[in-house]
Structure 1
């Protein structure tokens, strides 16, 4: 007869409440902006008094920290899945990776801002929550190195190039694809600059 380990139901309930609090904070951020997240509003959405939140999170920044870690953990998983089956051609692989980040970023403005922009002046992620972002960058560097992008400055250029297009899309054409359609051209320019092999992406994809 096997004996099942005792379940810590109190810990399970506590974790469920923490998840509910974080989800409520995301709902507020997506509807009204990250700066609109307040302990009072979060507490109201989960049906508790503001002081009760302190039994789960020490401060509002602690909630932001959980949101930050959750967001980067989600993208790390997306990155691992996408880079496990990239096309072999360097330019096509670069485009696939850039489209993956672009689509993830523009799908959720509040999430992108918390992950990549300093919109909360006094917020600094904890090492634990920051770890998935570090792991994501390490994976990116591994893949880029395999594609022939092996200089730190080139990695920085790639990140800035794709991130800049995301910023322009969100600022000027939210919900559209004006800047997404520039990704093939941008990756061609990047690949040409580094001398990466392969026919131009623009020769196989119509750009309008």
Structure 2
């Protein structure tokens, strides 16, 4: 009919197959570890011959690349939602929301966190396109800190390293537990004190340090 958009059913089927391949790849990675991902097992689970995967992904690293990009896109969306909900809060409250959101997203999925933040796969480097959402996510966090008056790059790097350390310790030593989760707010408050971020009751910017 006039005015209707013509559907590209072939493209839709191709995209659906790509999503299925990625879903299966994540399932294999979560069961056996990222480094144990094989095209043969992914193909078997999808119901195709391994060479047929090459019509959708040029290599195993191309699958990792798509997984990496999708993971960071999801993280970007979750972080943006959390920041939007915390807009009316104090700078420290927004900081706590930001760090809790990243911590919970990270510890919820070991394989995803390893691909996003650790060099787990020898020889794999994400493409510029796949890396872009991670850059945007970090830039958004840096902008949030800058709006609170924290502009020293070293201060920001210390915060990021501290959160990553707590995530790593949680996943390595207490997966499914809360030993490091319980330390998160305390660690953030110590950092905030160190950089002179105003207390929750204050309305002015951070004190000089």
Structure 2: gaps (5+ residues)? 202-209
CA distance, structure 2, for counterparts of residue 125 and residue 197 of structure 1: 38
The equivalences for 1:1-208 within 5 A come to 2-86=2-86, 87-198=88-199
CA displacement, residues 21-54 of structure 1 (integer Å, 9 cap, x when unaligned): 0000000001110011100000001000000000
Mapped to 1, the partners of 2:9 and 2:200 lie a distance apart of: 58
2-side partners of 1:162 and 1:2: how far apart? 55
Q: String of CA shifts for 1:91-137, please: whole Å, max 9, x gaps.
A: 22211111100000000000000000000011010111000001101
**Cα deviation, residue 199, structure 1:** 5.6
The DSSP-based 3-state class of the residue aligned with 1:183 is helix
Name segments (4+ residues, structure 1) moved above 4 Å. Answer: none
What is the Cα-based RMSD across aligned positions, in Å?
Answer: 1.3
- Name the structure 2 match of 1:206: none
Per-residue Cα deviation, 1:36-85 (whole angstroms, up to 9, x for no partner): 11000000010000000000000000000000000000000011111112
Q: Whole-Å Cα distance in 1 between the matches of residues 126 and 37 of structure 2?
A: 16
The whole-number CA distance in structure 2 between the counterparts of 1:82 and 1:95 is 10
Q: Offset at 1:146? A: 1.1
List runs of 5+ in structure 1 lacking aligned partners: 201-208
The CA deviation string for residues 148-186 of structure 1, in whole angstroms up to 9 with x for no partner, is 211111111111111100000001100000001001110
Q: Measure the CA separation in 1 of the matches of 2:138 and 2:102.
A: 12
Contact 2:30 2:111 in 1 (8 A): yes
**Kept in 1: contact 2:93–2:200 (CA 8 A):** no
